[in-house]
Chains A and B, each alone.
Chain A
Amino acid sequence: MSVSGDTIREIAQLARLAVEDDELPALTSSFNAILDLFEQLQAAPTDGVEPMANPLDASQSLREDVVTETNQREALQAVAPLTEDGLYLVPRVVD
């Protein structure tokens, strides 16, 4: 199975990445080499096998629904590119 440069552009759009025109051929070729590698999986007879999401087959641990963290807004926003009055600023979305 292989994908075209157009498909790579669509995936890039989903992932919010831009692909420059001059990068596209090399990227498409390495992407398809990786998909070729993935084809080996198809030979494994996996019908009815439970997918393994956690290597210890552990399930999500739960805790009491109580407040354990203190407010650290200032410390956390100190590393933000742009804030105002405790809010993160982005370009205007709605006029």
Chain B
Amino acid sequence: MSVTDSRSLTELAQALANGDTSSVALTEAALTRIDALDGALNSFITVDRESALRDATAADARIADGSAAPLTGIPIAHKDIFCTRGLRTSCGSRMLDNFTPPYDATVVERLRSAGAVVIGKTNMDEFAMGSSNENSFYGPCKNPWDLNRVPGGSSGGSAAAVAAGLVAAATGTDTGGSIRQPAAFCGITGLKPTYGLVSRLGMIAYASSLDQGGPMARSAEDCALLLEAMAGHDPRDSTSAQRPVANYREQLAQSLDGLRIGIPKEYFGEGLDSGVAAVIEAALKEYESMGATLHEISLPRTALSIPAYYVIAPAEASTNLSRYDGVRYGHRCDNPKDLEDLYTRSREEGFGAEVQRRILVGTYALSSGYYDAYYKKAQQVRRFIAGDFASAFESVDVIAGPTTPGIAFALGSKTSDPTAMYLEDIYTLSVNLAGLPAMSLPAGFSQGMPVGLQLIGQHFEEARLLGAAHQFQQRSDWHRQTPKLELPA
């Protein structure tokens, strides 16, 4: 018998409703899998055993009395960037290693109301800055398909935990690809919603004009179920969109007949691995056979998304992270000799190398005399990039291409060169700059490693994306493939 559980949220909810299993049994099984496998994977930073079992017992009572919500009793995990009341929230940083939030993030609160049992908090790049999960204070998370490779980042722990069958679903956040790239590397389905669809309250800030939380699970159907719970206006987040939440599951059964799919030629040029290209081309042919039509389009300023993003995100990060000063919460250095020393040493000790580098770059980009050349210029280029998408969407309904230029890379292979790591984000960054929804879904394998197909939609067209992904998953079983994890002897 396999130690992992590859059942979907929908299947687990059905099993609970039928009385085939209980929330306590599912939670205990998940804890057993984490005990057995997570020593090797390192996908969790914190596991909340007692509280999970207590919530599971309460969930079983609700199921018994007929008051269950859609996710009641199903164990899930949260990326350790979402504040959880009473449960340490580290953001992958020594700075917050001692931080237990006094409140829940809106996302956490809403998934709790939908019945989910929180089993723990997943590993991530420190403050969500990274594309490999190697920037975590708690050590790198490993890819369950090959323990010598990265799971992607920054939501690497969530992707690895779902791929390894430790949990059926987890939350992630995506500032420049941090849901989609790890979803692609680990062979799961992940959705970055439109900017503002999911509340950022209690989601520790990296780059506030780009950050967006979203679901990570096996299938588009599961992502639809999670998004229904997560999305919606939050008066406590001033950038939260004021629109009703769609019933995403009802719209999964849409026909793809006549769906116009745009294929950006810039996503298939130099730098794209040939094995990844072959998988994506086969997936696009499958869409054609389902009635969609393919149209070559151009997103001419794609390459500029890298410098634009790596100005804007660090600039916003440098201001967001100025709050960590050793005074109100988080790490404080020992024996500060004066206030200046308290600030500087607390920050120096609390932040890792990549976070410090981005704070420095961002501080420089915002500093007097350089603001126009860097920050303002990057924001102007951002408008070009958004405009390129808007023009493309005049003639197509969705845009499709690879999520990443290659398969998951080897641990340690890009850590010495930050700019090489930044180039990995070429197909994902522009989506955040334009605030569009996009997802990654499993489309096949190259060299035994999963490959992700990226679908990009117009603002607030998550239903169309989820439907297009669901239809593909009705005709393929890539999303049902699971890694063969060896139990430690």
Residues of A within 8 A of B (CB): 3, 8, 11-12, 14-18, 27, 30-31, 33-34, 36-42, 44, 46, 49-56, 58, 60-61, 63, 72, 75-76, 78-82, 88, 90-93
Contact = CB atoms under 8 A, between A and B. Distances in A.
A47 to B, nearest CB: 9
Interface of B: 98-103, 194-196, 209-210, 235, 238-239, 241-242, 301, 303-304, 306-308, 310-311, 318, 322, 325-330, 332, 336-345, 347-348, 351, 356-357, 359-361, 363-365, 367, 373-374, 376-384, 386, 417-419, 422, 432-436, 459
A3 B315 CA distance: 18
Given A56-B241, A75-B103, A91-B342, 15 more contacts: A17-B344, A34-B361, A36-B419, A37-B419, A38-B311, A52-B433, A55-B195, A76-B102, A79-B100, A80-B327, A80-B328, A81-B329, A82-B332, A88-B327, A91-B339
Contacts of A92: 338
Nearest to B374: A38
A51 B383 contact: yes
Contacts of A53: 209, 379
Contacts of B103: 75
A30 B418 contact: yes
A44 B304 contact: yes
A85 B24 CA distance: 44
A60 B196 CA distance: 12
Nearest first, the 7 closest Cβ-Cβ pairs linking A and B are A55-B435, A51-B379, A46-B380, A81-B332, A52-B383, A75-B102, A49-B380
A90 B342 contact: yes
Given A17-B351, A55-B195, A41 B311 contact: yes
25 contacts: A8-B360, A11-B367, A17-B360, A18-B344, A38-B378, A44-B377, A51-B376, A51-B382, A52-B380, A52-B386, A52-B433, A53-B209, A54-B195, A55-B210, A55-B386, A60-B238, A75-B102, A79-B99, A80-B328, A81-B327, A82-B332, A88-B328, A90-B336, A90-B339, A93-B338
